[in-house]
Amino acid sequence: MLLKYLTGKNEDIPAGSSAIFFGFSSIFWFVVGTGLGSFNAAKLAFPDFVTGTELFAFGHMRQVHVLAVIVGWISMAFAMTMMYMTPALGNTKLWSEKLGLWTGMMWNIGLSTALLSLWIGITSGREYSDFAWPLDLVILLGVITPLCVNVIMTIAHRRTQGIYITNWFFGSCTFMVGIVLLVGNSPEYFHLTGLSEAYLTWWNAHNLLGLWITPVAAAIAYYTIPKLTGNPLYSHRIGHMHFWSIIVFYSTPASHHIMSSPIPEWLKSFASVEGVLILIPAVAFVANILLTMKGKWTLFVENIETKFSMTGVLLAIPLNMQGGFQQTRSINWYIHGTGWIVAHAHLALLGMSTFLEIAAVYFGLQQMLKRKVYSLALANIHYWFVLIGFCIYWISMTIAGLIQGAGKIYEVPYIDVVIAEHPYMIARWVGGTMVFTGNLVWLFNMWMTARAGTVLPEGRYAHELAYER
Amino acid sequence: MAFKEYRLGSAMVGGSLGLSMIITIFLPSFDLRSAVSTKVALEKQLSAGFDVGFGYADPLLLGINRPITVVLEADPKTGAKFDPPVTAYVYQSGVPMPPNVRHPNDLGKGVQDLSEGLGQIGGVSGSNHSVGQKEGVVFTIGLGEFDGEEVSYIENATATRGWVPEATLAAAGDKNTFKISQGKTEFVVQGCWWCHTLLPEQTQDWQVFGAPPYLGDFNGENPTAFGSDRKAPDLLHVGTRNSSREWMLLHFFNPRLVQVNSIMPRFDYLWGEKDAQGNVIDYDKWRAEYLEYASGKRVYPPEVPDYAPDSEIRALIDWVLSLK
Ligand code: HEM
- A14 membership: H or E segment, kind and range: none
**Residue among B260, B249, B245, B261 at smallest CA distance from B293:** B260
pLDDT digits over A112-126, tens only?
999 999 999 999 999
- pLDDT value for B1: 44
- pLDDT value for B133: 56
Does A403 score more than 70 pLDDT? yes
CB contact B107 to A (< 8 Å):
no
Q: Give the mutation target among A32, A44, A67, A69 for probing the ligand 1 site: most ligand atoms within 8 A of CB.
A: A69
Angle between the A236-245 and A214-229 helix axes, to the nearest 10 degrees? Answer: 170
- B321 membership: H or E segment, kind and range: helix B312-321
- pLDDT value for A11: 82
Residue A79: which CATH number?
A: 1.20.120
pTM exceeds 0.90, yes or no: yes
Ligand 1 contacts (CB < 6 A) are: A 34, 37-38, 40-41, 44, 62, 65-66, 69, 73-74, 341-342, 345-346, 349-350, 354, 428-429, 432, 435-436; B 194, 228-229, 231
In whole angstroms, give the CA distance from residue A111 to residue A274.
33
In whole angstroms, give the CA distance from residue B310 to residue B271.
9
- pLDDT value for B122: 80
- pLDDT value for B85: 95
DSSP string, B182-232: HHHHHHHHTTGGGT--S---SSTTHHHH-PPPPGGGGTT-SS----S--SS
Q: What is the mean pLDDT of chain A?
A: 94
Cβ contacts from A onto B, under 8 A: 237
- Asked if A81 and A364 touch (Cβ cutoff 8 Å), the reply is yes
Please judge whether B265 and A133 are an interchain contact, meaning their C-beta atoms are less than 8 angstroms apart. no
Residue B69 neighbours by CB under 8 Å, 6+ apart: B46, B47, B87, B88, B89, B90, B177, B178, B179, B180, B181, B318, B322
- pLDDT value for A388: 98
Which residue's CA is minimally distant from atom 3 of ligand 1?
A350
Number of domains in chain A: 1
Using CA atoms, how far residue A269 sits from A257, A278, A324, B24, in Å, is 12, 15, 14, 12
For A260, the closest of B13, B194, B199 (CB atoms) is: B199
- B113 membership: H or E segment, kind and range: helix B111-116
For A251, the closest of B20, B189, B268 (CB atoms) is: B20
Q: Is residue A414 a part of any domain in this protein?
A: no
- Asked if A70 and B202 touch (Cβ cutoff 8 Å), the reply is no
Q: Is residue A463 a part of any domain in this protein?
A: no
CA A82 to chain centre: 14
- pLDDT value for B3: 54
> What are the per-10-residue average pLDDT scores of chain B (324 residues)?
72 93 93 92 95 90 93 93 94 89 90 92 56 75 94 93 93 95 96 95 80 92 91 94 94 95 95 93 94 93 94 96 94
SS3 of residue A173 by DSSP: helix
Going by pLDDT thresholds of 50, 70 and 90, the confidence category of residue A411 is confident
Going by pLDDT thresholds of 50, 70 and 90, the confidence category of residue A151 is very high
In whole angstroms, give the CA distance from residue A67 to residue A61.
10
Provide the residue ranges of all domains of chain B, joining segments of one domain with +. 39-179, 188-321
Q: Is residue A51 a part of any domain in this protein?
A: yes
Q: Which of A205-214, A460-469, B57-66, B256-265 has the lowest mean pLDDT?
A: A460-469
Please judge whether A408 and B269 are an interchain contact, meaning their C-beta atoms are less than 8 angstroms apart. no
Q: What is the ipTM of this complex?
A: 0.93
Cβ-in-10-Å burial (0-12, 13-18, 19+) of A402 comes to: middle
- pLDDT value for A125: 93
Measured in Å, residue A45 CA sits from the centre of ligand 1 at 14
* Owning domain of residue A18: 1-163
* CATH 1.10.760.10 for domain B188-321: yes
- pLDDT value for A201: 96
| Average pLDDT, integer, range A100-107 | 96
Q: Is residue A224 a part of any domain in this protein?
A: no
CB contact B74 to A (< 8 Å):
no
Contacting residues of B for A162, CB less than 8 Å apart: 3, 5
| Average pLDDT, integer, range A157-175 | 93
pLDDT digits over A320-367, tens only?
999 999 999 889 999 999 999 999 999 999 999 999 999 999 999 999
Contacting residues of B for A176, CB less than 8 Å apart: 13, 17
In whole angstroms, give the CA distance from residue A228 to residue A438.
23
Count the neighbouring beta carbons within 10 Å of the beta carbon of residue A336.
28
Contacting residues of A for B197, CB less than 8 Å apart: 337
Using CA atoms, how far residue A191 sits from A180, A211, A456, B2, in Å, is 17, 25, 55, 47
Count the neighbouring beta carbons within 10 Å of the beta carbon of residue A388.
14
Which residue's CA is minimally distant from atom 30 of ligand 1?
A432
CA distance A33 to chain B (A): 18
- pLDDT value for A4: 79
